[in-house]
Each structure stands twice: as structure tokens, then as C-alpha cells.
Amino acid sequence: MRNEAFLRLFAGSGRRKLENGLELCVVPAYEVLQSRREAMDACGEDEQTLGLWMNACLLARAIYRDDARAFSGGEALMRAAPAEQIERWTEDYAALCREENPACSEENAQKAMQALSQEDYERLKWRVLKAFDVLPGEARARRMTDRDYLYCAAQMMLDEREKLDAMCPSCRERAQRRLCPVCGEEMPEENAGFDERRFEELRDAGVCETASSGADETCGAV
């Protein structure tokens, strides 16, 4: 995960028992942001290790023993646990997130990806950057991959779907109408800006196929 609009995925109060008296807890969104900062500081310029550091720093905030954190930080966890154990804990955390928030389900992820396939790719990237107040020239924007953009956009769309699901049928129907911003008249459905060539490139490269399934592993990569 890259930014706070979809870090709500991690918000919850769920718990899961681990081995040796450890307990896995879903952490608040702010802690996810903190774990990302810690991971980026720890890996420095070695971007190859960023994913592992992100997982470790998040898990350090999620794993408890006797109602207290079992690890002081990502480095402490990395020193105490092998990479295979960190991977298993990350998978457990992703499963706990899915239990706490059905928006993480494969079905919802597929719906989001179908909707994303109808959007111009450059506009999609801009929507993600704009939502998080990031300029394209910033270092954090340059680090974003196609998969990152698609994952962010998918989670933003799931947020909107949750808002609609919370409405009564009448309000939901009105909210889904496409209205003219000037006169308020209903607009016809059209999709002139869909960049089919770019979407085909992403699909052939496996990005669109992995964006939803990558949600599990990205849960640690904030």
C-alpha cells in the first residue's frame, strides 16, 4: 500500500493467535504510515529490500505478547525472525485484514479491476497522485510502479463502492447518475478517454492480473 486513502483497509480490531504466545492484531492506519516511513529510512537506497522492510516494520506494530508489542521495531523483528517466518506472518496478517474488511475479497477486487479497465491510464495515475497531494516529480511518485497505481486506484474505487453500499436504494440510484456539473441534467454513458492500447500493454505484462492478487502481499508493503 502506498497512501492513506486506502490504508483504511488495515483499520479494525481483529486479532489472531500465533505461535509461542504471540498474537496478531490489525493496526490503525496511522501506524501503517509510520511503518512505511520506518521501512524507507531503514532500506535507504536499496529498493530491492524495501518490500521486506515494509512487511517487517508493519508486523512489528501488529504482533503482541501479553498485550504489549513483542518487537520494538522492524529491525528487531528482522534480527529475531527469518525471512520465511516474516512471509508467513505477512500472509496471516493479510488473511486477518480480509476477515475484518470484506472489501479485500477477491470478488470486490475483480469488480474494481473491471471498472479500472475503462479508464484512461494517465488520468488514472493523476487521480491517484491528486488524491494524496503528490506531484509527479516527487521522489515517492517516481518510485510508484504500474502495479502500485492500479492497486491504489482499485482501493479508492472500493472505498466509493462501500459508500454506495451504505446508502438506501433510492439515494444509491441518484448517486450513481452521471450529471452535468452546469445544468444538472443526466449525461449519457460514454468512455471516449479509454486508452485501450495502454490497458492491453498492462494486461499482457500481467499487471492487471496481479493487482488484485497482489493485495495480499502488498498489505505489508505500505
pLDDT in tens, 125-150: 888 888 888 888 888 888 777 667 77
Residues 32 and 125 in one domain: no
Which range is least confidently modeled, 40-44, 87-91, 143-147, 206-210? Answer: 206-210
Residues 98 and 114 in one domain: no
Q: Which of 102, 129, 163 is the last residue of a domain?
A: 102
CA distance 25 to 31: 12
- Asked if pLDDT for residue 215 goes beyond 90, the answer is no
CA distance 6 to 29: 9
pTM: 0.45
Number of structural domains, the chain? 2
How many other C-beta atoms can be found within 10 angstroms of the C-beta atom of residue 166?
Answer: 9
Distances (CA, A) of 32 to 6, 114, 116, 177, 218: 11, 28, 25, 35, 12
| Residue numbers of the domain that contains 204 | 103-218
Helix (H, G, I), strand (E, B) or coil at 12: coil
**Helix, strand, coil percentages, rounded to 5, for the chain:** 65, 5, 30
Q: Which of 71, 87, 102 is the last residue of a domain?
A: 102
Which range is least confidently modeled, 7-21, 77-91, 126-140, 144-158? Answer: 7-21
Q: Which of 59, 78, 102 is the last residue of a domain?
A: 102
Contact call for residues 116 and 153 (beta carbons, < 8 A): yes
